[in-house]
Amino acid sequence: MIQIQNLRVSVEWKEILRNIDISFELGKTYYLLGQNGSGKSSLALTLMGHPKYQIQEGTMTLDGENLATMTPDERSHKGLFLSLQNIPEVRGVRLGEYLRTIHNRHIATGTKPLSSFLCHRYLTTLTKELGIPESFLDRDLNVGFSGGEKRKIEILQMKLLNPKYIILDEIESGLDIDAFRTVAELLARVKTPENTLIIITHNFRMTEFVKPDEVIILKGGNIVERGGGDLVEKIGMEGFGE
């Protein structure tokens, strides 16, 4: 479980999150909703340990351990995964080698790392499952890929690392209607009782594919409303209000 208590966060001495109290239980799906600038992405980046976001007060724990004392790399090893709005392209790094590196860095101590041959064979089973051409493994990381292809590669990373807590920050960004549907359907298949999805979105159609257990509304850096799936319908008809 991720537990956040009385969290206050600032950027360059400007307070952007205040009095955040929330828990994310394993096995559930949460939606963080709100207008632009309400604090949704700031909360995600704070959880992941972005150095720009300074905790002024409060606590964040992951399965009882203090998140605030962990580096982003350590948080990743503990089971946190963050999908960013804008996916960077990295020239000179082949996708297959990148995936092998992150896999071998995340496996348990004492487990033998996968060789290039064995990892490639394992990755091809995952690419086939996700509808990703095997040839993509030999291309530079995210270079020249469409928005939908980049999102599929992120889901490939999720399948490979099997994180416990998956934060998705506007993954619909840059997707056309068909690509959105494909990615949403793949996410629905990624969700299991052994992981948690924390979804930040402006596209409420996502709830048709991945049903929410709880919906949290942020405004001005505060949590202002919480509820179930019916809250999404209410906002869809009435908006977030002033």
- Quote the pLDDT of residue 240: 78
**Token pair listed for 224:** 């202002």
**Token pair listed for 202:** 């402006």
pLDDT at 113 over 90: no
- Quote the pLDDT of residue 98: 93
Report the DSSP beta bridge partners of residue 23: 3
Rounded CA-CA distance 162/108 in Å is 13
Task: Pick the range with the lowest mean pLDDT from 56-65, 74-83, 226-235.
Answer: 226-235
Rounded CA-CA distance 193/215 in Å is 18
Mean pLDDT, residues 90-102 taken together: 93
Give the confidence band of 116 by pLDDT, cuts at 50, 70, 90.
confident
Mean pLDDT value across the chain = 90
In a domain, 95, yes or no: no
In a domain, 191, yes or no: yes
In a domain, 126, yes or no: no
pLDDT at 84 over 70: yes
Mean pLDDT, residues 31-60 taken together: 93
Q: What pLDDT digit, counting tens, does each position of 140-198 carry?
A: 999 999 999 999 999 999 988 999 999 999 888 888 889 899 999 999 988 999 999 99
In a domain, 97, yes or no: no
Domain count, the chain: 1
pLDDT at 85 over 90: no
- Quote the pLDDT of residue 221: 92
Domain CATH number, residue 194 = 3.40.50.300
Give the confidence band of 105 by pLDDT, cuts at 50, 70, 90.
confident
- Quote the pLDDT of residue 205: 87
Amino acid at 45: L
In a domain, 120, yes or no: no
Per cent of the chain over pLDDT 70 is: 98
174 is in which domain, residue-wise? 2-89+142-238
pTM, two decimal places: 0.92
Residues present in the chain in total: 242
Three-state SS letters, the chain: CEEEEEEEEEECCEEEEEEEEEEECCCCEEEEECCCCCCHHHHHHHHHCCCCCEEEEEEEEECCEEHHHCCHHHHHHCCEEEECCCCCCEEEEEHHHHHHHHHHHHCCCCCCCCCHHHHHHHHHHHHHHHCCCHHHHHCEECCCCCHHHHHHHHHHHHHHHCCCEEEEECCCCCCCHHHHHHHHHHHHHHCCCCCEEEEECCCCCHHHHCCCCEEEEEECCEEEEEECHHHHHHHHHHCCCC
pLDDT at 242 over 70: no
In a domain, 76, yes or no: yes
Rounded CA-CA distance 82/205 in Å is 21
In a domain, 96, yes or no: no
In a domain, 111, yes or no: no
Count CB-CB contacts under 10 A for residue 200. 22
pLDDT at 81 over 90: yes
- Quote the pLDDT of residue 10: 95
- Quote the pLDDT of residue 115: 84
